[in-house]
Amino acid sequence: MAKRIDVSGLTAYYGAHKAIEDISMTVEPRSVTAFIGPSGCGKSTFLRTLNRMHEVTPGGRVEGKVLLDDEDLYGSDVDPVGVRRTVGMVFQRPNPFPTMSIFDNVAAGLRLNGSYKKNQLTDIVEKSLRSANLWNEVKDRLNKPGSGLSGGQQQRLCIARAIAVEPEVLLMDEPCSALDPISTLAIEDLISELKERFTIVIVTHNMQQAARVSDRTAFFNLAAVGQPGRLVEIDETERIFANPSVQATEDYISGRFG
């Protein structure tokens, strides 16, 4: 549960296009790390390298190392499918399985991982839905399709689905960008609760959100259009927003560009 991520010298490509270059950072366990930066700076690409989702895009490949505690996710004997079972992910748009019920959505990952007895499944599904602050809203309609929920509920359903398999790390790719402010608040509260148990990395375009939910913040930027994205700096969130050490970070946060 909750491992440290150590990235060193990571470069990711889409075919011949270099999307991000030479990124190194450490993500502490049981903390929230936020990635901010202008569109196209590669924060989502970098996030997707952390569970090897980047390589499912045609032409996607990676150089460098990502250590989860001491295990290299890109080691030659590592199965990307296994990595994704350890590092969960929540996407920008809520994507519950449209043909599955709420219960089956949460149980989907468990059923992939092995065989559970019916009552074990029921327990884990309830626990996960409670952890995602969704239980009270859906407990009476667990057999209804997940696509019938509101956007915010769907996103919490996706979070429940991701944490049901007890991942070491939870990656969130702009999880609130398709949601209204109230649903956003619900997710942010949830993130603060979940960091007690998981290592959380969140990409966000909303700097207030980064300031509210994260312990550490990483700022990404492009040197110029067409150049690969780079990590400009990563530091305690308070420092990044009050007194960043790089001028570009301050310019971005104060709205002078980007």
Partner 1 sequence: MASTTPTDLPPAPPARPGKSASTGRAGDKIFLGLSRGSGILLLVIMASIAGFLAYRSVIAISQDEGNFLTTFDWNPAGDPPVFGIAVLLFGTVVSSLVAMVIAVPIAVGIALFISHYAPRRLAAPLAYVVDLLAAVPSIIYGIWGALFLVPYLEGLNLWLDEFFAWTYIFDKTEVGVARSLFTVGVLLAIMILPIVTSVSREVFLQVPRMNEEAALALGATRWEVIRMSVLPFGRSGVISASMLGLGRALGETMAVATVLSPSFVISLHLLDPGGGTFAQNIAAKFDEANELGRDALIASGLVLFILTLLVNGAARLIIARRKEYSGANA
Residues that bind partner 1 (CB under 8 A): 51, 53, 56, 58, 81-86, 88-89, 91, 93-100, 108-109, 112-113, 146-147, 154, 158, 161-162, 165
Q: Which is nearer to partner 1, 89 or 186 (by Cβ)? A: 89
According to DSSP, the β-strands at 17-27 and 5-14 are: antiparallel
Q: Any idea how long the chain is?
A: 258
List CB contacts of 210: < 8 A, sequence separation 6 or more: 34, 36, 202, 204, 217, 237
Q: How far is the C-alpha of 166 from the C-alpha of 181, rounded, in Å?
A: 28
For residue 210, the surrounding DSSP H or E stretch is: helix 207-213
Q: Which is nearer to partner 1, 55 or 233 (by Cβ)? A: 55
**Least distance (Å) from partner 1 to the CB of residue 227?**
27
**Least distance (Å) from partner 1 to the CB of residue 125?**
14
- Which strand ranges, in their side-by-side order, compose the sheet holding 32-36? 71-72, 60-68, 5-14, 17-27, 229-236, 216-222, 32-36, 199-203, 169-173, 87-90
**Least distance (Å) from partner 1 to the CB of residue 144?**
13
Residue type, 133: N
Classified as helix, coil or strand, 189 is helix
**Least distance (Å) from partner 1 to the CB of residue 85?**
3
Q: Which is nearer to partner 1, 11 or 95 (by Cβ)? A: 95
**Least distance (Å) from partner 1 to the CB of residue 165?**
7
Q: How far is the C-alpha of 188 from the C-alpha of 175, rounded, in Å?
A: 10
Classified as helix, coil or strand, 103 is helix
Q: Which is nearer to partner 1, 167 or 229 (by Cβ)? A: 167
Q: Which is nearer to partner 1, 86 or 177 (by Cβ)? A: 86
Q: Which is nearer to partner 1, 21 or 104 (by Cβ)? A: 104
Q: Which is nearer to partner 1, 128 or 237 (by Cβ)? A: 128
Q: How far is the C-alpha of 28 from the C-alpha of 216, rounded, in Å?
A: 9
What residues are paired with 68 via a beta bridge?
5, 71
